Structure 1
Amino acid sequence: MRMIDGLQGLSLKRMWQAFRVHRCDKHRGLAARSGLRMMLVRVLMALVLSFSVTATADAQEGKKPPAFESRAKYAILIDSRSGKVFYEKDADALMPPASMSKIMTMLVVFEKLKKGELSENDIFEVSVNAWRKGGAPSGSSTMFAKPGERIPLGTLMRAVIVVSANDAAIAIAEGISGTEEAFARLMTQRARALGLKRSTFANATGLPDPNHRMTARELAQLARYLIEVFPDYYKLYSIREFTWGKHKQYNRNPLLGKYPGADGVKTGYTSEASYGLVASAERDGRRLIAVIAGLKSKRERAEEARRIMDWGFRQFRTVHLYQPGEVVTQARVWGGKEDWVDLVTHDEVKIRLSDAERRNADADVIYRGPLMAPVAAGREVAKLRIRVEGKTVATFPLYTARAIEADPDMWGRAADTIKTWIFGG
C-alpha cells in the first residue's frame, strides 16, 4: 500500500495523512516497509514537538483542567474504549442499584442468545408471581402483561430495556432458570466471571433487597462490556417507546433525544436507592459512560447527567482528519487494468482526543490484500484505525474510489503475481 505524499508542513491533517499503513496478509514488501517506518518516525517527532510546545505554553499561562464535583452520592465517568477513569466519587461503595442492575439481567440473556441457547422467538409465560411482584398490582415499572400471557422473548427484552418492566424481567428469569432466585444466583456467578468482585444480585428487577448491591464502578464496567461485546443488542437501548396492548410508554432515560450522541443505557429508582442513571454518549469517535446514583429527583438526575457528560467531553478536542470523499491512501490491485485504487472516506473522519492522547497517538490502515480485480466502486475494503498507546480508540471504514476492471491479458496477470511476490501488496 502506498503512502500519502509528503508532510506538507506541520498541519495536523497532513501529519495524520503521513501515518503508517498496514496490511493483514503475509506478503509485505521490505523496501516499502522501510520507507513507511522512516516516515512514521518523522511524523511522530513532529507531533510530539508540536503538542509539547502547546502544553508548555498552557503551563506558563497557568491553565488547569476545570474542576468538577458531582452532586450525586455515587458517580464515575469512564472512556468506553480504554476503560480510563476521568472522574469518580465513592465509586467502590456498595449501593442499591435499583433498575440499573437490569443491565446484568439482560447480559445473561444476550450471552445465551449469542451461544444459541435462546432465540428471540422463544415463548415465555407470565406467571402469577411475575404479575403480582412486577405487574400492574405491584405499582412498579411494568409492561402490564396479564397472568398466563405467552410472550416472545424479544418482546420481553424490549419491555425490560425500554420501560424497565419488572413483570417482563421476572418472566424472563423464571423462563430461563425456573425461579427468579435461581436466576439471581446465575447473575452473581456471571458477574464474578466477568471480573465484578463486589456486586451481588437477589432478583432480576433491582427491587429493594439487602442482598442486592452494586458499585458505580462495576455498573460502568458492565455497561462497557455490553457496548463493546454486544453492539447490536445495545442498539435496543436507544428505542424511545414501547407498547403492549393499550399501554404505550416511553423510555425514561432523560438524555435520549435531548443530549447529542446519547444512546443508552438505563435509569433506576426506588425509595431506597433514590434516582440513578447509567448513561452513555458518543461524539466524534469518543464514547463516555457515566454512572450517577443517589440523586433526589428526576430533574436533578437529568441535570447531573448533562453536567458530567459535558465536563467529560470538554476534556477532549476534535481532530478533523479527512473530509467526505477525500483520498486516505491506495490499495494494491492484482489482475486489474490499473495496479492501484484510491481508498476514500464516505463520511467526515474526526475524533476527540485529549492533548496527552494526541502526543501518543498513531494511525494505520488495515486491509487484506492485494485486492482481486475486478474491483467495484464504493466497496468497503479497509479500515482506518486510530490508536493511543497501542489501544484502538476508533476505526473508520474506507471505500474504493472507483471501479477497476480485470486485465484480460494473461501475461499482465502473471507479471502482477511476480510483483506481488517480490514487493508485496
Structure 2
Amino acid sequence: MRSLSPLGTSCLLLLVALLPCPPAQASPALSGLSVPSCDGAPCSPAGSPEVPDGPAEAWLLADMDSGEILAAKNPYAYHAPASTIKTLLALTVIDEVPLDSTVLANRSDLAECSCVGVTTGREYSVRQLLDGLLLVSGNDAANTLAEALGGFDAAVAKMNEKAAEIGASDTRTGSPSGLDWPGMEMHTTPRDLAVIFREALSRPVFAEITAEPTALFPGDSGEDEIRNQDELLTLYPGALGGKTGFTNAARKTFVGAAERDGRRLVVSMMHGLNAPGGPTYWDQAQALLDWGFALGPDQNVGQL
C-alpha cells in the first residue's frame, strides 16, 4: 500500500480538522436533575433525612402532579422492564381503541403465559382484556390487545411511538407483554417508567382498573374472579395502583402510586431481587413513599 507524502498527510489532517463535528450529546444522568448525579448511590435533597434503599438497583420517587423528582438511584439506567411495560400497552390501547370494541382471540395469542385465561376463538371486550392485562399480568391478554392495534409488530411500533410522544425517550419495547429474549431491543429506565405510569393514570379507565382489588373475567363456566397482583393496594393506605413485573433479564420491577393528604407520589423500581432476610420490594416501596410524603415542600433533586 502506498503511503501518503508529507504534503498529502498535511492536507488530510487539514481536511479532517475542517469537517463539522457531530453535536455533543448531553449526559442523560444530568438532563432532569439539579444534583451532579444519582448514579451508584441514592441522591436526595440537601438536608433531608437519609433516603431508604433496598433491593432495587435503580429507582425513582417523584411527585405525580408537579413532576418533581424527590429522590433517585440510577434513574437513567437502562433495564428490561418485564411486565411493567404493559402500562404502556394499556395507555396505547386506551388512546386508540374503544373500550366496548371486541377482539377475537387466536391460538398464537396464548403462546406466552403467565395467562389470565383467554380462550381461542372467543371474543373479548377491550375493557375485559385490560382487566386481565393490568390485574394479573396476562400475556395472553397483552397479545390479544395487540391484535386490536393491528397485530404484534404494529402494536410494538405504536407503543414505541406513544413512549416518544409522552417524553419517555429512553424506552424501547420489543413485545407487547414485556416478555424478552436474547437479542431483543427492550429497555426503559426508572424515570421513563414513572413518566409512563403518570400519563396512564391520567386516563380515568386506567386509574379505575389499576385500583381494583378484584375483577371478573370470562371463564369456561361463567365469570372467574381475578385478583390484583399489586400487593401495595392492601399493604399501603392510599395506594392508587401499580404494575409488577419479572423476567430473568429484568429481575423484579414495579411502578405504582399512592396519595396522602392530597399529594400523589409515583415510585418506580427496577432490576432487583429480594435477599434472604432483607427488605422486600414491597418494603422498599412503602419506605420510599413514607419518606417522600414526609418531605417538605419544594425539596427535590430535579424534574421528570
| TM-score, normalised with respect to structure 1 | 0.55
Match of 1:226 in 2: 200
Aligned-partner SS, 2:77:
coil
Structure 1 Cα separation of the partners of residues 168 and 126 of structure 2:
27
Mapped pair 1:127 → 2:111:
no
Match of 1:313 in 2: 293
Mapped pair 1:68 → 2:51:
yes
Give, as a single letter, the amino acid of the residue that structure 2 aligns with 1:167: D
Q: How far apart are residue 260 of structure 1 and its match?
A: 1.1
Q: Please, which of 251, 276, 281 is the counterpart of residue 301 of structure 1? A: 281
Q: Please, which of 291, 295, 301 is the counterpart of residue 268 of structure 2? A: 291
C-alpha contact (below 8 Å) 1:163/1:242 kept by paired residues:
no
Match of 2:143 in 1: 170
Give, as a single letter, the amino acid of the residue that structure 2 aligns with 1:202: G
Runs of 4+ in 1 over 6 A off after TM superposition: none
Give, as a single letter, the amino acid of the residue that structure 1 aligns with 2:235: K
Q: Which runs of 5+ in 2 are unaligned?
A: 1-45, 300-304
Q: How far apart are residue 305 of structure 1 and its match?
A: 0.9
C-alpha contact (below 8 Å) 1:125/1:175 kept by paired residues:
no
Q: Please, which of 81, 85, 93 is the counterpart of residue 77 of structure 2? A: 93
Give, as a single letter, the amino acid of the residue that structure 2 aligns with 1:258: L
Q: After alignment, is 244-253 or 189-198 more displaced?
A: 244-253
Structure 2 Cα separation of the partners of residues 107 and 201 of structure 1:
14
Q: Please, which of 84, 106, 111 is the counterpart of residue 68 of structure 2? A: 84
Match of 2:166 in 1: 194
Structure 2 Cα separation of the partners of residues 175 and 297 of structure 1:
37
How many pairs align?
Answer: 244
Structure 1 Cα separation of the partners of residues 248 and 294 of structure 2:
33
C-alpha contact (below 8 Å) 1:274/1:297 kept by paired residues:
no
Match of 1:238 in 2: 211
Q: Name the Cα RMSD after superposition.
A: 1.9
Q: Please, which of 125, 134, 143 is the counterpart of residue 161 of structure 1? A: 134
Structure 2 Cα separation of the partners of residues 213 and 64 of structure 1:
34
Structure 2 Cα separation of the partners of residues 172 and 227 of structure 1:
19
Q: How far apart are residue 69 of structure 1 and its match?
A: 4.2
| CA deviation string 1:139-193 (max 9, x = no partner) | x2x111121111111101111111111101100102221x212210111112112
Mapped pair 1:262 → 2:239:
yes
Which has the larger strand fraction? 1
| CA deviation string 1:339-383 (max 9, x = no partner) | xxxxxxxxxxxxxxx2x58xxxxxxxxxxxxxxxxxxxxxxxxxx
Structure 2 Cα separation of the partners of residues 242 and 270 of structure 1:
25
C-alpha contact (below 8 Å) 2:213/2:228 kept by paired residues:
yes
- Pairwise mapping of residues 19-418 of structure 1 onto structure 2 (< 5 A)? 64-71=47-54, 72-112=56-96, 118-133=97-112, 138=113, 140=114, 142-177=115-150, 179-209=151-181, 210-228=184-202, 230-244=203-217, 245=219, 247-297=224-274, 300-316=280-296, 354=297, 356=298
Structure 2 Cα separation of the partners of residues 150 and 232 of structure 1:
20
Q: How far apart are residue 250 of structure 1 and its match?
A: 1.5
Structure 2 Cα separation of the partners of residues 144 and 242 of structure 1:
13
Aligned-partner SS, 1:311:
helix
C-alpha contact (below 8 Å) 2:98/2:126 kept by paired residues:
yes
Give the greater-gyration-radius structure (CA): 1
Structure ranking higher on relative contact order (CA contacts 8 Å, 6+ apart): 2
Structure 2 Cα separation of the partners of residues 183 and 232 of structure 1:
20
Give, as a single letter, the amino acid of the residue that structure 1 aligns with 2:80: P
C-alpha contact (below 8 Å) 2:116/2:140 kept by paired residues:
yes
Aligned-partner SS, 2:264:
strand
C-alpha contact (below 8 Å) 2:52/2:291 kept by paired residues:
no
Q: Which runs of 5+ in 1 are unaligned?
A: 1-62, 113-117, 317-353, 358-425
| TM-score, normalised with respect to structure 2 | 0.76
Q: Percent identity?
A: 27
